[in-house]
């Protein structure tokens, strides 16, 4: 479920949401989209299509390749056409670590190609043509002609296009970063006493900055501890806070124990923002957690003893 939520967040960041009403068609003529494609679209000069909609995109087409391509995320296309994304728009593609493979909708557009060599002198002299006879209206060779034609959605390898790291890709890196494991501090130091709440806090750093290289792009990830889960070690389970706590007398996190020996530790949920080559910061679409080292302490029963102050 968390995975789905993360993915939804990832892809929500890809789209430009300006429309909310599905566009109607009169006959076969459907309204033009009212939203721009946004970051989700890539252009490619060549798309080598494989089975099941899979493909490999590049900017190295064979000579006189008849199409140019646009690759959009299904969510972008859906948003463009229907005013919103659907759950089915979100799908992950398996990819080796060194490849970028995204679930994309390819669209292709005809290119004007050299016309036939009528007089046989080796030079085309028949104007320009398209691969299926669609009229070019005299457009020069290489000019895109006619409408975009939507193809079958599939997992397309876009590594050769070297797109800037997507939020999803940054998130994958984020999950591998050596985030700090925050140490649980407790008061009173040493053993606790029943009836005297144990104070928890951490004084470990709660932010950390990482600079990573992702396919040649400099990505700065600023990680921040967003949630603290204090595992108390007794049957009450855990205390969840959004602050790291403070030592006495400014404590914010306390817990009452019965007599016994307890082992507590702190799980921290980390969120992050990132920039690519100095761009505006964007949220990393997901969180990751670290577990701090356990601390063990006794909680003892204090017994009242009458003493003679004059002794």
Partner 1 sequence: MRDLRGGLVRTSLALAVGALALTGCSEKQEASTTLPTPSATETTPELPPLGPADFPVPQEARAETPDGAVEFVRYYVALTKHLALNSADPTPLVDLSQDCRTCIRIAQSFEADLAAQYSYRDYEYEFDEYGPALINGDTAEVGFAYVQGPITAVDPAGQVVPDRSAATPQELRSGATLLWKDDVQSWVMTGLTVG
Stretch that binds partner 1, among 4-12, 142-150, 162-170, 264-272 (CB under 8 A): 142-150
CB of 120 to partner 1, least distance (A): 24
* Residues, the chain: 311
Q: How many residues bind partner 1 (CB under 8 A)?
A: 27
CB of 14 to partner 1, least distance (A): 17
Query: How many CB atoms sit inside 10 A of residue 292's CB?
Result: 20
Binding-site member from 41, 75, 76, 77 for partner 1 (CB under 8 A)? 77
Q: Which is nearer to partner 1, 124 or 146 (CB)?
A: 146
CB of 148 to partner 1, least distance (A): 6
Cα distance between residue 79 and residue 73, in whole Å = 10
Does residue number 306 form part of the binding site for partner 1 (CB under 8 A)? no
Query: CB–CB of 272/290 below 8 Å?
Result: no
Query: CB–CB of 298/192 below 8 Å?
Result: yes
Binding-site member from 147, 188, 205, 237 for partner 1 (CB under 8 A)? 147
Cα distance between residue 268 and residue 278, in whole Å = 28
Name residue 144's beta-bridge partners.
111
Binding-site member from 38, 40, 55, 151 for partner 1 (CB under 8 A)? 151
Burial class (CB in 10 A: 0-12, 13-18, 19+), 136: buried
SS (H, E, C) 248-280: CCCCCCEECCCCEEEEEEEEEEEEEEEEECCCC
Cα distance between residue 113 and residue 116, in whole Å = 9
Stretch that binds partner 1, among 95-103, 125-133, 193-201, 278-286 (CB under 8 A): 125-133
Q: Which is nearer to partner 1, 1 or 25 (CB)?
A: 25
In the shown chain, the binding pattern of residues 14 to 33 toward partner 1, with x for contact by CB under 8 A and - for none, equals --------xxxxxxxxx---
Q: Which is nearer to partner 1, 145 or 272 (CB)?
A: 145
Does residue number 131 form part of the binding site for partner 1 (CB under 8 A)? yes
* Phi, psi torsion values for 221, nearest 5 degrees: -110, 120
Element housing 29 (H / E): strand 29-30
Does residue number 153 form part of the binding site for partner 1 (CB under 8 A)? yes
Does residue number 90 form part of the binding site for partner 1 (CB under 8 A)? no
CA pseudo-torsion sign 182, 245, 203, 249: negative
Does residue number 82 form part of the binding site for partner 1 (CB under 8 A)? yes
- List of residues contacting partner 1 (CB under 8 A): 22-30, 77-78, 81-82, 130-135, 146-153
């Amino acid at each position: 479920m968390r995975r789905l939520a993360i993915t939804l967040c990832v892809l929500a960041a890809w789209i430009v949401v300006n429309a909310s009403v599905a566009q109607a068609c009169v006959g076969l003529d459907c309204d033009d989209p009212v939203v721009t494609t946004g970051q989700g679209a890539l252009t490619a000069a060549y798309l080598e299509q494989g089975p099941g909609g899979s493909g490999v995109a590049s900017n190295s087409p064979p000579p006189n390749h008849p199409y140019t391509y646009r690759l959009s995320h299904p969510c972008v296309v859906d948003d463009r056409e229907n005013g919103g994304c659907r759950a089915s728009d979100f799908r992950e593609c398996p990819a080796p670590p060194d490849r970028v493979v995204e679930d994309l909708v390819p669209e292709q557009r005809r290119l004007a190609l050299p016309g036939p060599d009528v007089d046989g002198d080796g030079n085309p002299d028949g104007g320009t043509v398209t691969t299926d006879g669609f009229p070019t209206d005299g457009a020069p060779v290489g000019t895109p002609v006619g409408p975009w034609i939507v193809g079958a959605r599939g997992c397309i390898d876009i590594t050769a296009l070297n797109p800037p790291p997507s939020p999803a890709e940054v998130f994958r890196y984020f999950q591998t970063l050596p985030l700090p494991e925050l140490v649980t501090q407790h008061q009173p130091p040493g053993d606790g006493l029943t009836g005297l709440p144990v104070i928890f806090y951490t004084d470990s750093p709660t932010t950390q900055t990482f600079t990573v290289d992702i396919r040649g792009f400099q990505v700065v990830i600023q990680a921040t501890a967003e949630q603290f889960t204090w595992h108390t070690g007794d049957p009450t389970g855990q205390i969840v806070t959004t602050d790291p706590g403070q030592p006495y007398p400014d404590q914010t996190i306390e817990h009452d124990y019965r007599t016994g020996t307890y082992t507590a530790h702190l799980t921290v949920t980390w969120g992050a923002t990132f920039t690519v080559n100095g761009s505006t910061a964007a949220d990393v679409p997901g969180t990751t957690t670290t577990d701090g080292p356990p601390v063990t302490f006794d909680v003892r029963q204090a017994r009242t003893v009458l003493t003679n102050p004059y002794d």
